[in-house]
């Protein structure tokens, strides 16, 4: 039980943990892009969009998240809670930080395939750490997860895990279609995308078990 006089500090710790998680996740996306082996499913569409529009990966991410927020409102209607609009500033923070991360890692060279895989795995690990921090914070989820939760709320028979997989697959398919239509060949979706889809959740789950040992009021 949290004492009322400690509540503001407790909430502040949660949001600071969320911001830390988003920062780590953004750099994970940047490393994945640098590896050129395919981005994670949630970043596949913004990356492909950045290839044939003036938008950067970060601004395309912000735009996509705004669409996700609108989708949540349309799905939940009167059951949509206004507190979830906190996803909007979170989207802007994550988007701009992703662009910063892409700029920060541009000096890293990946001249061989094994070097690409090292950078890709670093990206996957960072994304997993960021996700585990986001879950531990327990305040606001990214808009993508928000859509999944919204669908699960109106269709309670569908489990979150299955819906999440279906959502990620849909994003990858959309990225593939956009890539072929606007660039003429497949970009942004490769073996690294498959690795991210398989490993991020598993690593985040194990990290979550470690983080569960610490209570937020003790951090």
Write the pLDDT tens digit of every residue in 102-132. Answer: 999 999 988 899 999 999 999 999 999 998 8
From residue 56, give the alpha-carbon distance in Å to each of 44, 53, 121, 122, 191.
Answer: 13, 8, 23, 22, 23
**What pLDDT score was predicted for residue 51?**
93
- % of the chain beyond a pLDDT of 90: 51
Does residue 50 fall inside a structural domain? Answer: yes
Checking if the pLDDT of 1 tops 70, the result is no
Count of domains forming the chain? 1
Q: Tell me the pLDDT tens digit for each residue of 18-34.
A: 999 999 999 999 999 99
Residue range 129-152: average pLDDT?
87
CA dihedral 102, 108, 112, 117 (to 10 degrees): -60
Q: Is residue 59 part of a domain?
A: yes
Distance between CA 124 and CA 53 in Å, rounded?
26
Within-domain flag for 99: yes
- Asked if pLDDT for residue 66 goes beyond 50, the answer is yes
- Rounded to two decimals, the pTM is 0.87
Does residue 1 lie in a domain region?
A: no
* 130 in any annotated domain: yes
Where residue 169 falls (left for φ over 0; alpha for ψ -120 to 50; beta otherwise) is alpha
Q: Is residue 3 part of a domain?
A: no
Q: Out of 31-35, 125-129, 165-169, 170-174, which region has the weakest mean confidence (pLDDT)?
A: 165-169
Supply the range of the domain harboring residue 182: 8-218
């Amino acid at each position: 039980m949290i004492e009322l006089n400690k509540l503001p500090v407790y909430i502040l710790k949660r949001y600071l943990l969320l911001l830390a998680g988003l920062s780590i996740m953004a750099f994970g996306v940047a490393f994945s892009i640098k590896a050129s082996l395919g981005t994670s499913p949630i970043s596949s569409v913004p990356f492909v969009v950045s290839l044939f529009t003036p938008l950067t990966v970060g601004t395309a991410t912000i735009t996509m998240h705004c669409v996700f927020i609108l989708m949540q409102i349309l799905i939940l209607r009167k059951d949509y809670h206004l507190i979830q609009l906190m996803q909007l500033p979170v989207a802007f923070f994550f988007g701009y930080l992703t662009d910063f991360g892409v700029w920060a890692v541009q000096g890293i060279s990946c001249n061989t395939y094994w070097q690409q895989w090292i950078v890709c795995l670093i990206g996957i690990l960072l994304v997993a750490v960021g996700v585990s921090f986001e879950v531990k914070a327990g305040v606001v989820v990214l808009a993508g997860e928000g859509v999944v939760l919204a669908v699960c709320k109106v269709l309670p028979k569908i489990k979150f895990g299955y819906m999440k997989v279906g959502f990620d697959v849909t994003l990858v398919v959309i990225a593939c279609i956009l890539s072929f239509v606007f660039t003429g060949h497949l970009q942004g979706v490769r073996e690294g995308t498959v690795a991210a889809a398989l490993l991020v959740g598993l690593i985040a789950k194990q990290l979550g078990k470690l983080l569960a040992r610490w209570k937020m009021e003790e951090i």
